[in-house]
Structure 1
Amino acid sequence: MTLSDTLRPSRVPDDSDEAVVDLSSETLREEMARAFRPVIRGFLIPAAGYYGLLTIFHLFLQDSEHFYKLGTLSLVTCVVGLYLHQKWLARDGGYRRLEITNLVMNLLMYLNITAALLIDFVPEKLVYFVLAIPLFATSGISVRVIVASCMLSFASLFWFANRAGPEIFFQYTVIGLGGTFAALCMGLLMRGAILKAVRARLVADLLRARAEFQADIDSLTGLPNRRHFFSTLEAMVSAAPESGSPVFVGIIDLDGFKPVNDLHGHAIGDALLVEVGQRIRTVCPPAYVVARLGGDEFALAIAKTLTRDTLNSIGRDICDRLRQPFVISGIGISISASVGFAHYPTNGETVRQIYERADHALSCAKRAGRGGVVIFSRRHEAEMNDFGRIDQTLRSSDLCKELAVLFQPQYDLMRQKIVGFEALARWNSETLGNVSPALFIAAAERSGLIEHMTGILLKKALAAAVTWPDDIRLSFNLSAVDLVSPRSIANIVRIIHESGFTPERLIFEITETSMMTDFERARGSLGILDAMGCQIALDDFGSGYSSFAYIHRFPLHRIKMDRCFVTGLKEDEAVGRNIIRAIADLSANLGVACLAEGVETEAELRAVQAAGIRYVQGYYYGRPMAADDVTDRLAAQDDTPPQEEAAS
């Protein structure tokens, strides 16, 4: 049984339910018993008291023979009434037991009346039957008890009245009929009112159960939701010191889900999320808590001792299972997933700390390459602290003064000359010194400062590039935040117009991740830049989730092959060459240029040339350089062989 099964009530009514509970159902019977139990117990005490007093009256008013019969019967009725109240119903007040109580007490009262009339018949005593009938009707828990008791009393009244002659018979028959009818109506109306109240309470309980269920369960996937996941995680962490069991938290994020929504619609996307939840659930043992936190993010909580290898294996199993193709409504869909894990108490003492570290591990998994598993470590803790310091320093620094741009050459193998430079951001902080671009750009994206930083860097890059020859292009990187921000795109357009730099010489480099963040907004932003005359290059192609289904929908002019394919030639040259050739062929078929990044050796250059790739970038043709050095390099490139440039 899964956690969601334990949360689910046995039957949660729909809003359209009119008959939520069957009148013959066991639940309704038990609830009726609970409602009638105080009524019947309240009836037993005065009944026992009355027959206790009647016993005393018989002692003083009856002769010994009549007292023996009538007094004994009334005393038995008193004792039985007290026993039923104190013992019988105190242990169990179930429906059957209440029915038996009704019948026993009604029968004893009936016998008392019948005995009194048989021993000393007086027509006036027939009124006892008339009085008993409403008592039986109002105290009865079930229709059969009410009808049986009332009909027995009325039949006995009818029989005794017949013995007293026509006048008495007629008089008490009319009284009995009226009394019986009134009593039955009163009893059934009262029982109906109680039944209605019980039904309303049951419906309210079931609706509350459904509300509680929905409050803890994701309505789409049926998995526990964010609220329930964190409450469960709190309980696990609280219990960990006593149980001695550690707690592992995993965050699972889908790679390539956004394009599925954009290309096929939200209905397909929702169906995919349901399938994803089921696959994760089937991979994980029942004891693991699997939840959907929202969007395409899922989470895992494990209160169990696991080795690092076992945790890695769990993450890989999840990634491998989600990497298998999905078929939704006849549409084949391929996605992947990245997983980040953190551990209590090693990585933190609170749920918030553990979650933040699992989230950081997930970010590292995505940066390292989609479809991977990362377990939070001391190195990541130091990195998080660096992020914190970097974030605070970014907010308080004069970025216009401290940010700088370096330029790395992009070489045309056919023309044997530099045709452009990629602008690379550098930050020399007065507080922290030189900070790695991978760290400060990621920190800027998280803090929301990236748009401001993009504007500063673009202005500086264009100010340098405007002095270059007209045939030299500038490549500039846009972040995912810039690409989906209308404000940032409008600022970029303004900066280009004010710079005087020809838009046709400007190439904006974007990553696959940035395109998948928000497909429609990204396409709209690129459309604006394309309409200005700017070109678009897909950076780090092949390092992540490369979907040919959406690449052709962007205004794409160049593909930059990720450097991992070039460096991979050292491990398996034959396979590496085939991959490079395949990417080159793909670019040719799409009608876009292809640039190979990371070319550092002559062997790598020959492999790239053999694949038919025209443009290259890497240390072989030059390291990133300052703006002043670009002018000298361009002036000297015709006189300096490529080998000497690389050596320099």
Structure 2
Amino acid sequence: MRGMQSTDGLAVADDDLAYLSQSVLQREVSKAFRPIVRGFMLPVVAFYTIVIIPNFLLSPLWEATRMSSLSLLTALAALVCRSLLRSPDVSFARLEAVGAAMLLLIYANCCNVVYVLFQAPNLIYFLLLFIVTAAVAVSIRLIVAISLVVLATMLAVAYAMSPEVLLTYAFASVAAALAAGGLAIMTRGAVMKTVRARLLADRLRSRAEVLADHDALTGLPNRRCFFSCIEKAIARDDAPAVFHLALIDLDGFKPVNDLYGHAIGDELLVEVARRIRFACAGEDMVSRLGGDEFAIAVSRRLSLAELEMFGARICETLRQPFVLSGIRISVTGSIGIAHYPENGRDLRQIYERADHALYRAKRDRRGRTVIFSSEHEAELSGNGRIEQALRTADLDAEFSVMFQPQHDLMRARTTGFEALARWNSPILGFVGPQHFIAAAERCGLIEQLTAVLLRKALSAAAGWPEHVRLSVNLSALDLMSSRSIDDICRIVGESGFDPERLTFEITETSIMHDIEKAKTSLDILSGLGCRIALDDFGSGYSSFAYIHRLPLNRIKMDRNFVTRLSEEEKVSRDIIRAIAELCANLGVECLAEGVETESELMAVRLAGVRYIQGYYFGRPQTAADALAHLEAENGTGQPEMLRA
């Protein structure tokens, strides 16, 4: 299972014409003419064998003997020549030499007849020889050479006979020579054209077959070829397959395409393919499955430690900056690895488990390797149960919305709530959003779920004071779906809730799927009057590259920056301050999530953060409790403190 080198497109290019070298053309012309020349030998044998009989019946013995001896020699030579042309791969030189020998023998027979029977009518044999030469000779040079010899001989003999004979046969011989030449040129031109067309067709067909199994950009085996090879390896009876399947997905590739264009993106993919091939062993099969997803079939037995080293080597080589057309670009690669047959008994199972490991890598360890384990098997099994339960769930009855306060330090009051989805399944019990949101995306129910949760949240927020805002999360698939965005706009319009009090929260990773499409969706929501918040800021890779292009009103920094204050206080404080200053420079609000203690509150306050969300000001609560929370403030500016 080895990768192959790059191939070009299917157009007839210069390398196709170069492929039709003189030697190749001669070889193919030989194949076309061999049956003609070899078939010609049979009538030659027949004619020069049969002609012996009338020679002895109609001519004196010495004349018959002279003519018949040469005829017999010609017939035997034709048999030998036919034997020499038995192989279908006879060379052009041999075919030309055999044709020349045969034509010269026929020429000798013509001369012999004229010499023995010096009569003008016998000159017709020379005229026939012109036609035979045009039909049988494999090359133009042989035709010209034989024709000149025959023409010169015929004119010389005619001149020797008499001026009248010369005058009569001069025009006939020249006409025959020109006719033979024209016939030869047309015949060989047609043969050459046919040969060229067939060679080019074969060339393009072979290239098409290569491209059918290989990626035109990188030259790697494509998805079809890769999976076909794996299935064949699994199906073999003589040597049961044992291999590791590694799936690689680039982190940060979309922004490269969006910022620098697809040409640079293609250059990056070619270089990524080259680096992956270089990092793998020769027997490993590297494939580009599509987009920025690659795969490796490792046919060697590797221990867990060796697999870790294998994945780390690839991740490290991809982590090194790329310089493309003078542009310095940095991306990383996340890898998921599964083992056959331990993690699956067929291609579908092994791919599903490698893909799950890749999902875990992108979720928890971007730029690192995750090897599928028994823990993942249990999780995958649980995902299947969640998806099955979700498909049969009554979304309106089983799903509810909780609300977590968002506090304004300057005004010392709650200015909004984030709506948080909850699912209490009658089959599975309570299922966390980190599980059912992903499951809803996988089984195509996320749009329906978003609509249900949005209606519930808007209904609950209808009774809040006008200064209190509602924040609702949108998934990546919501942003990518025009239908979902239209439904959201319709639901907001029907609710009667002021769109200016509604904030839609999106994550960095959801934007990475397609920045342009995400921007279009956000522009529609912003045009409706809704506000846009970027959630989990700082957890992605290219925030500063795209943040200025989006219609943002608020940035919510990733909660990890707050939770790490107790471990890396100085570093975390500096990061929080930098994000707060960035927000101030961009003219957007800054909100810190995960604030639970007095010291964390003081740290983010000193960093210049105005808006806070976390257990310090309130846990997620029901709609009734959220309304009670607002009433508890009672205009005093002092919220009810709910600690972890």
**Distance in 2 between the 1:573 and 1:627 partners?**
36
Alignment pair present for 1:358 and 2:357: no
Q: Does 1:146 align with 2:143?
A: yes
**Residue 337 of structure 2 corresponds to residue 347 of structure 1:** no
Task: Give, in whole Å, the separation in 1 of the partners of 2:637 and 2:176.
Answer: 123
Please give the alpha-carbon distance, in whole angstroms, between the structure 2 residues aligned to 1:513 and 1:34: 62
Of 414-423 and 109-118, the range deviating more from structure 2: 414-423
SS at match of 2:642: helix
- Distance of 1:22 and 1:534 partners within structure 2: 63
Residue 175 (structure 1) shift: 3.4
1:270 and 1:7 map into 2 onto residues whose CA distance is 15
Q: How many residues align?
A: 643
**Structure 1 counterpart of 2:559, one-letter code:** R
* Residues 478 and 446 of structure 1, relative CA distance in 2, 3 Å threshold: same
CA drift of 1:40 comes to 0.4
Deviation at 1:263, TM superposition (A): 4.1
How far 1:399 sits from its partner (Å)?
0.8
Give the direction of change, closer, same or farther, for the CA distance of 1:501–1:151 in structure 2 (3 Å limit).
closer
Matches within 5 A, 1:346-425: 346-412=342-408, 418-425=414-421
Normalising by the residue count of structure 2, what TM-score does the alignment of the two structures yield?
0.87
Say yes or no: does 1:158 pair with 2:155: yes
2:428 alignment counterpart: 432
1:161 is matched by which residue type in structure 2? A
Change (3 A) 1:171 1:553: closer
Please say if 1:525 is aligned against 2:525. Answer: no
Query: Given the superposition, is the C-alpha separation of residues 8 and 455 from structure 1 closer, same or farther in structure 2, using an over 3 Å criterion?
Result: closer
Q: Deviations over 1:204-225 (max 9, x none)?
A: 3334344444444444445444
Corresponding residue of 1:200: 197
Describe the superposition over 1:602-647 as per-residue Cα deviations: whole angstroms up to 9, x where unpaired: 5545544454434443345443333333344455568999997315
Residue 187 of structure 2: aligned partner: 190
Which of these residues, 82, 85, 95, is aligned with residue 82 of structure 2? 85
User: 1:246 is matched with which residue?
Assistant: 242
Q: Is the alpha carbon distance of 1:501 and 1:369 closer, same or farther for their aligned partners in structure 2, counting shifts above 3 Å?
A: farther
1:107 and 2:118 are equivalent in the alignment: no
- The CA deviation string for residues 259-304 of structure 1, in whole angstroms up to 9 with x for no partner, is 4444444455445444444444444455544444433334444444
SS at match of 2:463: coil
- More displaced stretch, 600-609 vs 543-552: 600-609
Q: Aligned pair in 2 of structure 1 residues 7, 335: CA closer, same or farther (>3 Å)?
A: closer
Letter in 1 for 2:523: G
Larger deviation: 492-501 or 29-38?
Answer: 492-501
Answer whether contact 1:21 1:28 (CA < 8 A) is retained.
no
Q: What is the aligned partner in structure 2 of residue 47 from structure 1?
A: 44
Kindly provide the amino acid, as one letter, of the partner of residue 564 in structure 1. N
The aligned amino acid for 1:518 is: D
> What's 1:13 paired with?
12
Distance 1:557 1:166, change over 3 A: closer
Q: 2 CA distance for matches of 1:224 and 1:113?
A: 64
Q: Which amino acid aligns with 1:110?
A: Y
- Equivalent pair of 1:540/1:561 in contact (CA under 8 Å): yes
Over 3 Å counting, the alpha-carbon distance change for 1:77 and 1:351 in structure 2 is farther
How far 1:100 sits from its partner (Å)? Answer: 0.9
Q: Deviations over 1:183-217 (max 9, x none)?
A: 23223322222222222322333343444444444
Do structure 1's residue 559 and structure 2's residue 558 form an aligned pair?
A: no
Offset at 1:122? 4.4
CA separation of 1:494 and 1:158: change in aligned 2, threshold 3 A: closer
- SS of the aligned residue for 1:645 comes to coil
What residue identity is the alignment partner of 2:153?
S
CA-to-aligned-CA distance 1:299-331 (integer Å, 9 cap, x gap)? 444444344444444444444444444455555
Q: Which residue of 2 aligns with 1:583?
A: 579
Amino acid paired to 1:454: T
Rounded Cα–Cα distance in structure 1 between residues aligned with 2:265 and 2:20: 43
Give the whole-Å Cα distance in 2 for the aligned partners of 1:137 and 1:338. 69
SS at 2:549's partner residue? coil
Structure 1 residues 612 and 174: CA distance shift in structure 2, 3 A: closer
Residue 526 of structure 1 aligns with an amino acid whose one-letter code is L
Segments of 5+ residues of structure 2 without an aligned counterpart are: none
User: CA–CA distance in 2 between the matches of 1:546 and 1:185?
Assistant: 72
Letter of the aligned partner of 1:13 in structure 2?
A: V
1:131-189 deviations in whole A, cap 9, x for unaligned? Answer: 22211221000011111222222222233334434344444444333333322322332
Map of 2:27 onto structure 1: 30
Does the 8 Å CA contact 1:21/1:199 hold for their aligned counterparts?
no
* Shift, 1:514, TM fit: 1.9
Tell whether 2:130 aligns with 1:133.
yes
Q: Structure 1 residues 47, 461: CA separation in 2 closer, same or farther (over 3 Å shift)?
A: same
Paired residues for 1:469-488 under 5 Å = 469-488=465-484
After alignment, is 582-591 or 285-294 more displaced?
285-294
- Percent identity, aligned pairs only, is 52
User: In 2 relative to 1, CA 120–211 (structure 1 residues): closer, same or farther, beyond 3 Å?
Assistant: same
Determine the structure 2 residue equivalent to 1:549.
Answer: 545
What CA distance in whole angstroms lies between the structure 1 residues aligned with 2:296 and 2:451? 40
SS in structure 1 at match of 2:87 = helix
**Cα shift at 1:411:** 4.2
Q: How far apart, in 2, do the equivalents of 1:183 and 1:247 lie?
A: 67
Letter of the 1:83 partner, please give it. V
One-letter amino acid of the structure 2 residue matched with residue 406 of structure 1 = M
* Distance in 1, Cα, partners of 2:46 & 2:458: 104
The 3 A distance-change label for structure 1 pair 510 and 292 is same
Cα deviation, 1:434-486, whole Å, max 9, x if unaligned, reads: 22211211111222211221122122223333334444443321112222334
Displacement, 1:532? 4.8
**1:590–1:187 distance in 2 versus 1, CA, 3 Å:** closer
Which 10-residue stretch deviates more, 76-85 or 563-572? 563-572
Give 1:403 shift.
Answer: 0.3
Does the CA contact (< 8 Å) of 2:412 and 2:637 recur in 1? no
Deviates more, 1:476-485 or 1:439-448: 476-485
Contact 1:41 1:85 in 2 (8 A): yes
Between 1 and 2, higher relative CO (CA 8 Å, sep ≥ 6) is seen in: 2
Distance 1:457 1:283, change over 3 A: same
Moved more, 506-515 or 528-537: 528-537
Report the AA paired with residue 146 of structure 1.
I
Equivalence for 1:466: 462
Deviations 1:322-379 (A, max 9, x none): 4444455555544433333334333334444433433333333222253333333343
CA–CA distance in 1 between the matches of 2:45 and 2:528? Answer: 99
What TM-score do the two structures reach when normalised by structure 1? 0.86
Query: Could you give the per-residue CA deviations for residues 32-54 of structure 1, whole angstroms, max 9, x where no partner exists?
Result: 11111111011011112222333
Write the letter of the residue equivalent to 2:506.
Answer: I
Q: Quote the offset at 1:108 in angstroms.
A: 1.9
* 1:518 CA displacement: 3.0
* Aligned partner of residue 476 in structure 1, secondary structure: strand
